[in-house]
Amino acid sequence: MSGQVEAKLAALGITLPVAAAPVANYVPSVISGNQLWISGQVSVKDGVFLSGKLAGEADLEAGRAAARQCAINLMSQIKAALGDLDRVTRVVKLVAFVNSTPDFTDQPKVVNGASDLFVEVFGDVGRHARSAVGVSALPLNVSVEIDAVIEFA
């Protein structure tokens, strides 16, 4: 039987993908005490990279969708590490990197795609501290990469 968080995901029509394996010399997550530190998850859905530089090849809505997909991929890593999304007691922090042109300044609006989903799925537990940083390039030209710190019981 799925828990409350997975029921909420199902109600939203979201099926979590299999958690992505590392593509270099790192681990997908590390548990330290009651915190889960998740390595950066890129904007990939069903094997297709959501790519393009914001204010270049991608617009704000595409960026928000890419950030939302990063949140879904982060939830996959949470489930892989903890076994149950209901163990999450707080989404502590997101650090988001937005592939964008030098004159693009709406990184916070892009990253709301992830933040809004965490709050929608986890409620107040999903409210978090956050950084939204513009960068000149990301792996495979993806639009967004996000890492997270999660507190759990």
What domains lie within the chain, and their CATH numbers? 34-152 (3.30.1330.40)
**pTM for the structure as a whole:** 0.97
Q: Which two tokens stand for residue 1?
A: 């039987």
Q: What is the pLDDT averaged over residues 25-36?
A: 98
Q: Which tens digits make up the pLDDT trace of 63-115?
A: 999 999 999 999 999 999 999 999 999 999 999 999 999 999 999 999 999 99
Return the axis-axis angle of helices 107-122 and 4-11, rounded to nearest 10°.
Answer: 120
